[in-house]
Amino acid sequence: MYTYSEFDEAFVRTRVAQFRRQVERRLDGSLTEDEFKPLRLMNGLYLQLHAYMLRVAIPYGTLNARKMRQLAMIAERWDKGYGHFTTRQNIQFNWPKLKDVPDILDALADVGMHAIQTSGNTIRNVTADHFAGAAADEVTDPRPVAELIRQWSTDHPEFQFLPRKFKLAVTGAAQDRAVTAAHDIGLRLVEQDGVTGARVLVGGGLGRTPMLAKVIREFVPLPDLLPYLEAIVAVYNLLGRRDNKYKARIKITVHETGIDEIRRLVEEEFAARKPLFSGIDQTHLAAITAQFAPPAFDKGGPEDYQTWRHADPVFRAFTDTNVTAHRHPDYAILTVSLKAHGTTPGDATARQMRALADLAEHYGHDELRISHEQNVILPHVPKRHLKAVHAALAAEGLATANVGLISDIIACPGMDYCALATARSIPIAQEIATRFEALKIEHEIGELKIKISGCINACGHHHVGHIGILGLERNGVENYQITLGGDGTETAVIGDRAGPGFGADEIIPAVERLVQAYLDLRADPGERFLDTYRRVGIAPFKAALYTAEEAANAA
């Protein structure tokens, strides 16, 4: 876990002090909203439908108990007792009062956190594989590189007014859990001849023009990484369109310019910038890496883990879905679902946050992660403690055994909160989860990722959902479009649009018809929805969606 240096501390405190004065000047009338808005956005403060919203960065999704408890304190003291974890590993507070925000930012600084660059046309919070440092399939922990990028990009003078926002994600594992292909820059850390470096992807993004990132360089050795990233962002800063907001992201720049020409320009820029890097970034990276040293794994052995699994079907179901293989044989990565059936995806109460902090401290080497799938992870839990952890989670309503299943839905805040939304997302997620819980078939269905966005900007990643749902407005009512076959992993695919959308009261039955079609079509219970879709194509699913509907209408 990285601890703020004196420099980080001084920078964040200075920024809070500046913002405190800016809020005072806004409240006493010296600043107009036009003048104040860019200042508040620089510090993560939005105005939404019903209230202000503060978006706090959780760099590479990593927290410890102290930070989590501070988030709980903020939720209770200045908000309504809960927080919302987002698809970009941020936490959003939905009800802060403008006058309280400087105090909230100071409270964040107390634990080495901030809300800087969680908005605006800058490099945003750097995200990473939520199993970093723990996954069995990992080549190298992506977090030191992510932290280096956080420091490099924070207040980077050249990149404060980019054509549009800019998002980076880093993974160090074979399995891509960080959706790197849907980021402006995606980094996949790899080893080549004993040297660690990055496969660099550029120009990915969802939103109104979804595109998968393209490989710009197969291998950039770590010592070259910052100058190479700087070269990419510098090229984009000059070429990126500022005449049209919808064409301003780097995905459009890459698309219009062509990846080969972008590559040439970046190499040229890289050659010019590389000599300006003295190597101090590498000294610094080494110091950061030391702070992410793996915990001292205990030697307790798994004890009765398998016996418990055998004896207790509830515990078995929980560990079947929520446990992932750890690099240490006697450890588990435990995903705590924030998707209890019928609740709001990604929301945690202050009490739940404290319970998670306690568990991390007592059983999990003081580490917590937030996933882009809006769950919380205890990355290092000895298997012999899993029974106790499960019991503690159950007492707090946090033991839902549904990770990766149909009710583990990603949903953006949608029109329940967001000023940009065109329809609600949360109630659709709640209804799908409740419906399939009632049917008692989600374990039989197996892995199925539903992702819901309440507008075309796609914060809910609907394009890469196995079933994606996009909420729009049609003729004055909410309408939901379905995409099928999307995939956000290392085999990333943008989903196909199924056809005309469905009304709010038609969308749950439509999803049910899709699932029924899948159960009828799958070769065997081991064939996932996505695999079946890839094998049989869209036609039978379209038939299930629309033919049945037409028949019902005709009846």
Let me know: does 423 contact 433? Beta carbons within 8 Å: no
Residue 27 or 272 having the CB closest to another protein: 27
Alpha-carbon gap, residue 83 to 6, rounded angstroms: 29
- Distance, CA of 230 to chain centre: 23
In the set 3, 6, 7, 29, which binds another protein (CB under 8 A)?
A: 29
In the set 133, 427, 460, 501, which binds another protein (CB under 8 A)?
A: 427
Alpha-carbon gap, residue 541 to 510, rounded angstroms: 10
* Class of residue 175 by CB neighbours under 10 A (exposed 0-12, middle 13-18, buried 19+): middle
Single out the residue of 386, 211, 411 nearest to residue 309, CA to CA. Answer: 386
Single out the residue of 153, 261, 249, 240 nearest to residue 209, CA to CA. Answer: 249
Q: Rounded to the nearest whole angstrom, what is the least distance from the CB of residue 472 to another protein in the complex?
A: 12
The answer to the question of residue 210 lying near another protein (CB under 8 A) is no
Single out the residue of 466, 470, 502 nearest to residue 484, CA to CA. Answer: 466
Copy the structure tokens of residue 507: 């969308």
Q: Rounded to the nearest whole angstrom, what is the least distance from the CB of residue 36 to another protein in the complex?
A: 9
The answer to the question of residue 85 lying near another protein (CB under 8 A) is no
The answer to the question of residue 6 lying near another protein (CB under 8 A) is no
DSSP H helices in 301-441:
305-311, 313-322, 350-363, 386-395, 426-439
Q: Rounded to the nearest whole angstrom, what is the least distance from the CB of residue 51 to another protein in the complex?
A: 4
The answer to the question of residue 78 lying near another protein (CB under 8 A) is no
Alpha-carbon gap, residue 92 to 109, rounded angstroms: 16
Diameter over CA atoms, the chain: 75
The answer to the question of residue 39 lying near another protein (CB under 8 A) is no
The answer to the question of residue 73 lying near another protein (CB under 8 A) is no
Residue 344 or 371 having the CB closest to another protein: 344
The answer to the question of residue 51 lying near another protein (CB under 8 A) is yes
Alpha-carbon gap, residue 397 to 511, rounded angstroms: 26
The answer to the question of residue 27 lying near another protein (CB under 8 A) is yes
- Segment interacting with another protein, rule: CB under 8 A, options 10-18, 65-73, 95-103, 528-536: 95-103
Let me know: does 36 contact 22? Beta carbons within 8 Å: yes
Residue type, 519: L
Alpha-carbon gap, residue 481 to 474, rounded angstroms: 11
The answer to the question of residue 49 lying near another protein (CB under 8 A) is yes
- Segment interacting with another protein, rule: CB under 8 A, options 43-51, 245-253, 462-470, 526-534: 43-51
Alpha-carbon gap, residue 13 to 15, rounded angstroms: 5
How far is residue 313 from each of residues 4, 5, 318, 335, measured CA to CA in Å? Answer: 44, 47, 8, 18
Copy the structure tokens of residue 274: 């590389």
Alpha-carbon gap, residue 125 to 119, rounded angstroms: 9
φ/ψ bin of 152: left (φ > 0), alpha (ψ from -120 to 50), beta (otherwise): alpha
- Segment interacting with another protein, rule: CB under 8 A, options 24-32, 372-380, 401-409, 541-549: 24-32
For 331, phi then psi, to 5°, come to -115, 165
Q: Rounded to the nearest whole angstrom, what is the least distance from the CB of residue 342 to another protein in the complex?
A: 10
Q: Could you identify the residue written with the tokens 């980019």?
A: 162
The answer to the question of residue 77 lying near another protein (CB under 8 A) is no
- Segment interacting with another protein, rule: CB under 8 A, options 90-98, 145-153, 279-287, 453-461: 90-98
In the set 4, 52, 219, 277, which binds another protein (CB under 8 A)?
A: 52
Q: In what order do the strands lie in the sheet with 127-128?
A: 127-128, 168-171, 185-192, 195-202, 214-221
Residue type, 230: E
The answer to the question of residue 477 lying near another protein (CB under 8 A) is yes
The answer to the question of residue 95 lying near another protein (CB under 8 A) is yes
Residue 46 or 131 having the CB closest to another protein: 46
- Segment interacting with another protein, rule: CB under 8 A, options 48-56, 130-138, 447-455, 506-514: 48-56
Residue 504 or 538 having the CB closest to another protein: 504
- Segment interacting with another protein, rule: CB under 8 A, options 217-225, 375-383, 390-398, 425-433: 425-433
- Segment interacting with another protein, rule: CB under 8 A, options 8-16, 93-101, 125-133, 375-383: 93-101
Residue 13 or 25 having the CB closest to another protein: 25
Rg (CA), the chain: 23
Q: How many residues bind another protein (CB under 8 A)?
A: 30
The answer to the question of residue 503 lying near another protein (CB under 8 A) is no
- Segment interacting with another protein, rule: CB under 8 A, options 26-34, 313-321, 384-392, 494-502: 26-34
Residue 259 or 472 having the CB closest to another protein: 472
In the set 224, 416, 487, 496, which binds another protein (CB under 8 A)?
A: 416
The answer to the question of residue 487 lying near another protein (CB under 8 A) is no
Let me know: does 495 contact 483? Beta carbons within 8 Å: yes
Site string for another protein, 328-347 (x = CB under 8 A): ----------------x--x
The answer to the question of residue 475 lying near another protein (CB under 8 A) is no
Residue 172 or 427 having the CB closest to another protein: 427
Residue 32 or 244 having the CB closest to another protein: 32
The answer to the question of residue 534 lying near another protein (CB under 8 A) is no
Q: Rounded to the nearest whole angstrom, what is the least distance from the CB of residue 285 to another protein in the complex?
A: 41
- Segment interacting with another protein, rule: CB under 8 A, options 6-14, 315-323, 474-482, 538-546: 474-482
Alpha-carbon gap, residue 216 to 234, rounded angstroms: 15
Alpha-carbon gap, residue 400 to 411, rounded angstroms: 17
- Segment interacting with another protein, rule: CB under 8 A, options 21-29, 198-206, 228-236, 375-383: 21-29
For 376, phi then psi, to 5°, come to -110, 140
Half-sphere exposure of 451 (CA within 13 A, CB side): 28
The answer to the question of residue 417 lying near another protein (CB under 8 A) is yes
- Applying CB under 8 A, the residues found at the interface with another protein are 26-27, 29, 32-33, 47-52, 80, 94-95, 97-99, 344, 347, 415-417, 424, 426-427, 430, 473, 476-478
